[in-house]
């Protein structure tokens, strides 16, 4: 195998992924005149950023007083103090600038009567350090992600960015010193495998929500960046923290934005009770997502769910003015009609918590540089967006901070590439011998496997296992069992078989290669979750209950730290949370309530 | 469980092994308590036969990947109700574009036309510190335009686009052209109108309105094209 060679293409920078963060990074690099390649499994406007609905946060204060410092406080609190405060300060301070910039790029934001960007309330967005809800989510109706992704793509058309559309990156190229030298990628149309040799590699590959059976995520969200990073010896951070969005359409999993509650929507149980008043007396339906999801599951578990199987709750906006719904929430009305068969103007929408977002990922600093276990940058390697863990979301992400993350860290990672090229910190090193061997061996194995396991069955088993063993509420014994089951499924993944051997647009091959990435994410998640013996943010387990010593089950003495999962040896290490912000005082640990 | 068998006739072509395209009969068990959309069934078909090839991603009608010709009409598989479909369900790739494989077409020409209208805001004025102001009424002009998902259902249902895909911008591109013309923040209206004032680029539209009929987002490219024509007339007076 080692004698096989593949074509090599050379670039200053290669960006993997063309969703919000990849496109934002590409604007920096293209406008700086760097020779940049952007690889994407799908045409850029088909990336999953397109499905974001409710808004992008920034303390513009267009409708009422707001301040980035309040935004920072909310984000730290939302993260259950697991977020790094330097990165959180950076993101919240940068927010007004990057959102205004996006408006200048052509983003069709809704407007206030004064002509400014329209802002709506959202879960966990509060004024004056947690006092009362504030309008901070900048919105284009309930299609903010779509409008943003298209505006960013359009800006790239203007900047003449070079795209490689429908190319799937397979593996990271790293030399013995650990420097990253690009990626090996597969052109889907031809089956050709090519090395993209670059001074800088930016991962903007998005999340891996497809490890769960019930997910708001697109089919393409298979954690390709995480799989590539893990195989190349990069540890994955805080992978036990997965956000279950409170309002996925029951049965279909399709997202209904929190913006619905921002506009006045109310969650109700079988007896029509506004149950969030009992769980979050202050923020009510606009508490943080982990809090609302747990409340919903508790209602269902205690027999107060709706429907013949009492397995969902209702999201009610029938009391809103139909004109408001048509103007501010036209997309969710369409989705409700399409996927729930009901018109929300007339009847409430059946919803259940649904896997939505991965808080963990490839460890980075706030400049978008990937960092090793000791916090020093991995030379030539950058990451932004859902694949990255800066960490701004910690144990639970606030709604609309995901789109903000894409803009801020897409831009900062691009700027870091430019700075590191200028300073000479990175340059084009020679490709190490045999750099493509492992990838080609993997492809060869897949092409020649006989009597192997079926890709869609194995994937389904993985997804059902994650759903059952690592959901909204987690149980000690189930987690331990889950680890064993996932390691078993890994054996099946290692011997997947495809019937399709064509070189042309072989989607069976792509799905098998995606499964290679999903299994790495599933292992990282399950092993990290099993080990964390506390409840924090989205990770809540039965053996870490609410006690006076550990309110909400959070154990700061032993567990106020980031998890690092290492693929090699399937082992864990830990690193401290950065409590020191860049310019303001640290936001001290405190019990979280809404 | 309400299960039954659904029958399909699907366009198949793999240039690696097929001399010519052919229609294949396929069938699959459907569970009506879970399955609702055509994409759910394609997923089931693909689990049975992994060589069946099509694009898909978001499965909620916002990414625009899974456009195809369904019983003779263009649409998105993820938004097509299965209970409304006449069987056998005939699935073909979008018409008028070269087929790469099965239901996957080469969209190069479609995107080339989209790119040709300069689909980005042009405003060379100094960048203000804050957002450029736009009244809610001015912003409302963009409704029905900015929501385009570039699925190509419209352009590939348009006979004018079939005949002149290299010269006629097509409904999707023209809808997007008007999206920028209608934007009060854009300063290139005249250049944009100049660019379209051409016997082919705009004026191949003969208001057949197939585009309106098939748009899965309920948009109306014909109306946008009419508005562009109106502006040209007003400009000429």
Cis before residue A450, ω within 30 degrees of 0?
A: no
H and E: helices and strands count for chain A: 16, 22
d(CA B163, CA B208): 14
pLDDT at A199 over 80: yes
Q: Which of residues 17-76 of B touch A (CB under 8 A)?
A: 17, 34, 36, 46-47, 49-51, 53-65
In chain B, DSSP assigns E strands to 3-12, 22-31, 67-70, 73-76, 89-92, 99-101, 104-105
Helix (H) or strand (E) holding A575: strand A571-576
Burial class (CB in 10 A: 0-12, 13-18, 19+), A572: middle
Q: Which residue of B lies nearest to A497 if distances are taken between CA atoms?
A: B50
Q: Nearest CA to CA, how far is B11 from chain A (Å)? A: 15
pLDDT at A410 over 90: yes
Q: What is the sign, positive or negative, of the torsion defined by CA atoms of A527, A530, A533, A538? A: positive
Half-sphere exposure of B119 (CA within 13 A, CB side): 24
Catalytic hit among A289, A536, A567, A592: A289
Pair B7, B88: CB distance under 8 Å: yes
What is the overall mean pLDDT for chain A? 97
Paired residues of A453 in beta bridges:
A496
pLDDT bin (cut points 50, 70, 90) of residue B2 is: confident
Question: 177-196 in A: which are within 8 Å (CB) of B?
Answer: 189
pLDDT at A88 exceeding the cut of 80: yes
A128-132: long-range pairs with CB below 8 Å, 24+: A128/A70, A129/A70, A129/A73, A130/A73, A130/A74, A130/A77, A132/A282
How distant is the Cα of A476 from the closest Cα of chain B, in angstroms? 31
Kindly tell me the burial class for residue A558, based on how many C-beta atoms sit within 10 Å of its own C-beta (0-12, 13-18, 19 or more).
Answer: exposed
Work out the number of other CB atoms within 10 angstroms of the CB of residue A376.
10
pLDDT in tens, B63-118: 999 999 999 999 999 999 999 999 999 999 999 999 999 999 999 999 999 999 99
Confidence of residue B3 (pLDDT cuts 50, 70, 90): confident
Query: Hey, is the C-beta of A109 within 8 angstroms of any chain B C-beta?
Result: yes
pLDDT confidence band for A209 (50 / 70 / 90): very high
Tell me the mean pLDDT in the region B144-161: 98
Which of B63, B130, B183 lies closest to A46 in CB terms? B63
Q: What is each CA distance from A113 to A575, B7, B136, B138, in whole angstroms?
A: 48, 54, 6, 11
DSSP string, A129-178: TTTEEEEEEE-STT-HHHHHHHHHHHHHHHTT-EEEETEEEEEEEE-TT-
Which residues 191-220 of chain B have a CB within 8 Å of chain A? none
- What are the chain B neighbours of A338 within 8 Å (beta carbons)? 60-61, 79
Decide if A584 touches B, using CB distance below 8 A.
no
Respond yes or no: is residue A289 known to be catalytic.
yes
Mean pLDDT of A559-581: 98
In the DSSP assignment, the letter for residue A361 is: B
Q: State how far the Cα of B207 lies from the Cα of B203, in Å rounded to an integer.
A: 10
**The pLDDT of residue B236:** 87
Cβ contact B192:B118 at 8 Å: yes
pLDDT at A2: 47
- Chain A, residues 208-227, CB within 8 A of chain B, namely 218-220
Bridge-based pairing of strands A571-576 and A242-249 is: unpaired
Does residue B207 sit in helix, strand or coil? coil
SS3 labels along A227-285: HHHHHCCCCEECCCCEEEEEEEECCCCCECCCHHHHCCCEEECCCCCCCHHHHCCCCHH
Q: CA A152, CA A19: separation in Å to the nearest integer?
A: 9
Nearest residue of chain A to residue B50 (CA atoms): A508
Percent of chain A, pLDDT > 90? 99
Give the C-alpha separation, A204 to A407, whole Å: 12
User: pLDDT by residue (tens digit) across A296-310?
Assistant: 999 999 999 999 999
Q: Give the minimum alpha-carbon distance from B100 to chain A in angstroms, rounded to a whole number.
A: 8
Question: What pLDDT does A5 receive?
Answer: 85
Residues in contact with B112: Cβ distance below 8 Å, sequence separation at least 6, in sequence order? none
Nearest C-alpha neighbor of A236 from the set A224, A225, A226, A251: A226
Average pLDDT over residues B133-137: 98
Q: How far apart are CA A538 and CA A470, in angstroms?
A: 11
- Which long-range contacts (C-beta less than 8 Å, at least 24 apart) are formed by B121-124? B121/A104, B121/A105, B121/A106, B121/A151, B121/A154, B121/B180, B121/B183, B121/B185, B121/B186, B122/B180, B122/B186, B122/B187, B122/B188, B122/B191, B123/A104, B123/B185, B123/B186, B123/B187, B124/B187
Query: Of B5, B154, B157, which is closest to residue B89 (Cα–Cα)?
Result: B5
Distance from CA of A351 to the nearest CA of B (A): 16
Q: What is the DSSP letter of A398?
A: P
pLDDT (tens digit per residue) in A222-254: 999 999 999 999 999 999 999 999 999 999 999
Q: Which of the residues A27, A59, A95, A104 would you substitute to probe the B interface, choosing the one with the greatest number of B C-beta atoms within 10 Å?
A: A104
pLDDT of B1: 55
Backbone angles phi, psi at A163, to 5 degrees: -100, 145
Flag whether pLDDT at A3 surpasses 60: no
Residue of B56, B134, B147 with shortest CB distance to A219: B56
CA dist A229 and A492 (Å) reads: 21
Helix, strand, or coil (residue A571):
strand
What are the tens digits of pLDDT across the range A332-345?
999 999 999 999 99
Contact: B50, A499; criterion CB under 8 Å: yes
With a threshold of 0.95, does the pTM exceed it?
A: yes
């Amino acid at each position: 195998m080692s004698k096989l060679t593949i074509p090599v293409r050379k670039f200053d920078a290669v960006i993997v992924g063309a969703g919000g963060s990849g496109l934002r990074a590409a604007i920096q690099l293209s406008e700086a005149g760097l020779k940049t390649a952007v690889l994407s499994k799908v045409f850029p406007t088909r990336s999953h950023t397109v499905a974001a609905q409710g808004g992008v946060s920034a303390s513009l204060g267009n409708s009422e007083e707001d301040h980035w410092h309040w935004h920072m406080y909310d984000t730290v609190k939302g993260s259950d103090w697991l977020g790094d405060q330097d990165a959180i300060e950076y993101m919240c301070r940068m927010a007004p600038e990057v959102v205004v910039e996006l408006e200048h790029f052509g983003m069709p934001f809704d407007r206030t009567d004064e002509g400014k960007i329209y802002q709506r309330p959202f879960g966990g967005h509060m004024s004056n350090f947690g006092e009362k809800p504030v309008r901070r989510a900048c919105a284009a109706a309930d299609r903010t992600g779509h409008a943003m992704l298209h505006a960013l793509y359009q800006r790239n058309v203007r900047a003449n960015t070079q795209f490689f559309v429908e190319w799937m990156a397979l593996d990271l190229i790293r030399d013995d010193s650990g420097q990253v030298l690009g990626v090996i990628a597969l052109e889907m149309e031809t089956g050709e495998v090519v090395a993209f040799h670059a001074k800088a590699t930016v991962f903007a590959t998005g999340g891996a929500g497809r490890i769960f059976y019930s997910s708001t995520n697109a089919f393409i969200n298979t954690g390709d960046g995480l799989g590539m990073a893990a195989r190349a010896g990069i540890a994955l951070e805080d992978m036990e923290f997965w956000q279950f969005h409170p309002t996925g359409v029951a049965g279909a999993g399709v997202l209904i934005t929190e913006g619905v509650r921002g506009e006045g929507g109310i969650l109700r149980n079988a007896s029509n009770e506004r149950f969030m008043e009992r769980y979050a007396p202050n923020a009510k339906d606009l508490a943080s997502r982990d809090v609302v999801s747990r409340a919903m599951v508790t209602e269902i578990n205690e027999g107060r769910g709706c429907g013949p199987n009492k397995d969902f709750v209702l999201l009610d906006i029938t009391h809103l003015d139909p004109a408001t719904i048509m103007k501010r929430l036209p997309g969710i009305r369409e989705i409700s009609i399409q996927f729930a068969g009901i018109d929300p103007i007339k009847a409430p929408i059946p919803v259940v918590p649904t896997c939505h977002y991965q808080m963990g990922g490839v460890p980075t600093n706030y400049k978008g540089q990937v960092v090793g276990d000791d916090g020093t940058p991995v030379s030539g390697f950058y990451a932004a967006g859902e694949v990255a863990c800066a960490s701004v979301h910690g144990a639970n992400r606030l709604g609309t901070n995901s789109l903000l993350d894409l803009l801020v860290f897409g831009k900062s990672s691009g700027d870091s590439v430019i700075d590191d090229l200028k300073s000479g910190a990175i340059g084009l090193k020679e490709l190490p011998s045999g750099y493509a061997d492992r990838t080609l061996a993997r492809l060869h194995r897949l092409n020649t496997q006989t009597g192997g396991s079926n890709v869609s069955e194995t994937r389904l088993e993985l997804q059902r296992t994650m759903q059952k063993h690592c959901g909204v509420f987690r149980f000690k014994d189930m987690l331990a069992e889950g680890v064993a089951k996932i390691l078993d499924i890994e054996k099946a993944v290692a011997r997947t078989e495809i019937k399709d051997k064509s070189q042309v647009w072989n989607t069976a091959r792509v799905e098998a290669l995606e499964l290679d990435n999903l299994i790495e994410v599933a292992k990282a998640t399950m092993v990290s979750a099993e080990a964390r013996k506390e409840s924090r943010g989205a990770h809540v387990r039965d053996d870490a209950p609410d006690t006076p010593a550990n309110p909400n089950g959070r154990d700061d003495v032993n567990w106020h730290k980031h998890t690092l999962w290492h693929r090699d040896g399937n082992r864990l290490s830990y690193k401290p949370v950065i409590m020191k912000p860049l310019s303001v005082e640290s936001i001290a640990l405190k019990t979280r309530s809404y | 469980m309400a299960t039954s068998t659904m029958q399909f006739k699907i366009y198949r072509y793999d240039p690696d092994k097929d001399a010519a395209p052919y229609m294949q009969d396929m069938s699959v068990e459907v569970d009506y308590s879970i399955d609702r959309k055509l994409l759910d069934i394609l997923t089931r078909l693909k689990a049975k036969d992994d060589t069946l090839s099509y694009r898909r991603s978001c499965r909620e009608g916002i990414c625009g990947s899974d456009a195809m010709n369904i019983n003779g009409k263009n649409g998105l598989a993820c938004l097509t109700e299965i209970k409304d479909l006449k069987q056998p369900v005939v699935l073909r790739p979008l018409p008028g574009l070269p087929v790469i494989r099965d239901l996957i077409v080469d969209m190069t020409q479609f995107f080339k036309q989209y790119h040709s209208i300069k689909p980005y805001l042009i405003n060379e004025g100094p960048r203000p510190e804050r957002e450029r102001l736009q009244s809610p009424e001015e912003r409302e002009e963009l409704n029905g335009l900015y929501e385009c998902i570039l699925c190509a259902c419209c352009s590939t249902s348009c006979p004018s686009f079939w005949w002149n895909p290299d010269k006629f911008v097509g409904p999707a591109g023209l809808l997007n052209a008007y999206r920028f013309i209608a934007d009060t923040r854009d300063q290139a209206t005249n250049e944009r109108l100049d660019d379209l004032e051409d016997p082919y680029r705009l004026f191949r539209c003969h208001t057949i309105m197939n585009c309106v009929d098939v748009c899965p987002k309920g948009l109306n490219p014909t109306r946008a094209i009419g508005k562009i024509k109106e502006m040209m007339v007003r400009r000429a007076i």
